[in-house]
Amino acid sequence: MEKEVKSLELEIKLVAERFLQKSKNREIQVISHFDTDGITSATIMMQALKKLDKKFSLKIVKSLEKEFIYNLPKNKLTLFLDLASGSLEHISKSGLEEVFIIDHHEIDREIPLNINIINPELHEKQKMSGSCLTYLFCKQLNPENKEFAKLAILGMIGDMLEKEIDKLNHEILKDGEVKRKRGLLSYPSTRPINRTLEFCSNPYIPNVTGKTKGVLDLLREIGLSPVNGKYKSLVELDDKEMSKLVTAVLLRNPKAASEKIIGNIFLIKFFNKLEDARELSATINACSRLGEPETAIQLCMEIPKAKKRAQSLHIKYRQLIISGLKFISETEKIEKNGFVIINAKDKIKDTIIGTITSILSNSSLYKDGTVITTMAHYEDKIKISARGVGKSGKNVREILSHVIKIIGGEVGGHEFAAGCIISKEKEQDFIDNLKKHLEIEVVKI
């Protein structure tokens, strides 16, 4: 008998009620992903559980591997945030007694009976971040959790879902008292524009990103000069200045679609000051990917001492991104019609390779429908990231799943943004099988 499909809102309400009932007198173990969406989800949940006076522990993980799931304590209530939809089989066999999942990644199997899940993939594939789902869940637990709406928005932006604003997401933006301005999607929009453009990797601007002279040439060309030794910020530009800037960027990147580089700049009140949500989101991401998720969480909680540390980590992270992009521009690639495979080995950190893949997929370097797959070594494993350019064409998660079934490993993600982990000894097997599968996909088309 088929399960009755409820609305996402009703499902959140019912699962929240079940959670309150099942978590009575029980310790909770929260496991969340280490990117911005996972960190903001964890921070919202952590503060909501504190208000309920619940006893809990928190683990931030890069990925959900089989051994990790099987080694979790069985008697606690387990709450997964922004992950676990691709690990349902392992979870159902792990012996965990009470399991709740709040996630938005693709599901490829039936939901086991012992798992309570909130996932928009089960509700007409609505586009929502893990943080927004966590926020709506926590708002059901206690309406006072409305104060954490701005964290949900940072997670939404971290997962690049800010252009998918439907009724539920719009409600969260309203709760978070977000201000918006239309303009170039470079950040931070609140800092001097010369610095913003120099470190701008998304959108990547040829001969400008990472090049001081290129930045000054562009600003001179559009007639922007410093006042008292300081340039205006993006949000301070008037409509005419913004229009000239966008035109100059498009001229340097003629293949770029204007909708990818122009959009809403979101401004959020943080540390009692209006800040660029993209900058905050990127800073949270940088802290966690450089091994300091605790700093990322403290930043989300607006703890003053975390701010300076987070900013220095973000500077280091941006430098690693720029050097990673430089390495990729110079290294040998496996390129054929419809796909490119880039094996960075140990030249790019495994925690950064996904971000670089996203930047490449949003650049004008590859045409729509191209599958970009990158690889980076860590310990005895390889982290693989795959992206579909232009969000059209092949389902990259299905492609990775097909290869992983043959060689073994863990896979997860979305239709146009997915990843997997394999053992290092399977490196050449993976490349050979991926090439074969991608070549078959190209022939099909």
**What's the pLDDT at 445?**
47
State how far the Cα of 41 lies from the Cα of 23, in Å rounded to an integer: 19
- What contacts 297, CB < 8 A, 6 or more positions away? 39, 42, 43, 46, 60
One-character DSSP codes across 300-330: HTT-HHHHHHHHHHHHHHHHHHHHHHHHHHH
- Higher pLDDT, residue 41 or 110: 41
- Per-residue pLDDT of 243-296, as tens digits, reads 999 898 888 876 666 666 788 889 999 999 999 999 999 999 999 999 999 999
Residue 381: pLDDT over 50: yes
Are the C-beta atoms of 183 and 203 separated by less than 8 Å? no
Are the C-beta atoms of 253 and 214 separated by less than 8 Å? no
Residue 211: pLDDT over 90: no
Question: Considering the domain 8-177, what is its CATH architecture?
Answer: Alpha-Beta Complex (3.90)
| CA distances (Å), origin 258, targets 183, 248, 249, 334, 388 | 11, 12, 10, 29, 18
What's at 298, amino acid-wise?
Q
- Higher pLDDT, residue 73 or 439: 73
Percent of the chain with pLDDT over 90: 64
What's at 218, amino acid-wise?
L
**pLDDT band at residue 444 using 50, 70 and 90 as cut-offs:** low
Token pair recorded at residue 280: 């905050």
State how far the Cα of 353 lies from the Cα of 365, in Å rounded to an integer: 17
282-314 b/e with 16+ CB inside 10 Å = b?
bbbbbbbbbebbebbbbbbeeeeebbeebeebb
Token pair recorded at residue 357: 């893949």
For strands 334-336 and 77-81, give the pairing: unpaired
Instruction: Cis check for the bond before 120: say yes or no (omega within 30 of 0).
Output: no
Q: In what helix (H) or strand (E) does residue 58 lie, and over which residues does it extend?
A: strand 56-61
**What's the pLDDT at 255?**
63
Residue 411: pLDDT over 90: no
For range 115-139, the mean pLDDT: 91
Q: In what helix (H) or strand (E) does residue 423 lie, and over which residues does it extend?
A: strand 417-423
**What's the pLDDT at 2?**
42
Which residues on neighbouring strands pair with residue 340, listed in sequence order?
Answer: 335, 372
Are the C-beta atoms of 131 and 119 separated by less than 8 Å? no
333-444: what CATH class?
A: alpha beta
**What's the pLDDT at 257?**
62
SS3 243: helix
Are the C-beta atoms of 417 and 323 separated by less than 8 Å? no
What's the sign of the alpha-carbon dihedral 73, 77, 79, 84?
positive
**pLDDT band at residue 337 using 50, 70 and 90 as cut-offs:** confident
Percent of the chain with pLDDT over 70: 94
**pLDDT band at residue 1 using 50, 70 and 90 as cut-offs:** very low
Nearest to 412 by CA among 426, 398, 391: 398
Are the C-beta atoms of 136 and 16 separated by less than 8 Å? no
What's at 311, amino acid-wise?
Q
For strands 371-378 and 381-388, give the pairing: antiparallel
SS3 136: helix
**pLDDT band at residue 166 using 50, 70 and 90 as cut-offs:** low
Averaged confidence pLDDT in the chain: 90
For strands 339-343 and 371-378, give the pairing: parallel
**pLDDT band at residue 430 using 50, 70 and 90 as cut-offs:** very high
- Per-residue pLDDT of 348-366, as tens digits, reads 999 999 999 988 987 778 8
Residue 409: pLDDT over 70: yes
DSSP character at residue 111: P
Instruction: Cis check for the bond before 73: say yes or no (omega within 30 of 0).
Output: no
For strands 334-336 and 273-276, give the pairing: unpaired
Nearest to 427 by CA among 371, 381, 362: 381
SS3 365: coil
| CA distances (Å), origin 69, targets 21, 80, 350, 371, 405 | 24, 11, 21, 30, 20
Residue 443: pLDDT over 60: no
**What's the pLDDT at 433?**
94
One-character DSSP codes across 187-198: S-TTSBHHHHHH
Identify the burial level of 263 via C-beta atoms within 10 angstroms of its C-beta, where 0-12 means exposed, 13-18 middle and 19 or more buried: middle
**pLDDT band at residue 6 using 50, 70 and 90 as cut-offs:** confident
Residue appearing with tokens 């978070």 = 176
* Every domain of the chain and the residues it spans: 8-177, 180-325, 333-444
**pLDDT band at residue 3 using 50, 70 and 90 as cut-offs:** very low
Residue 20: pLDDT over 80: yes
**What's the pLDDT at 416?**
85
Angle between helices 130-141 and 8-22 (to 10 degrees): 60
What's the sign of the alpha-carbon dihedral 150, 156, 161, 167?
negative
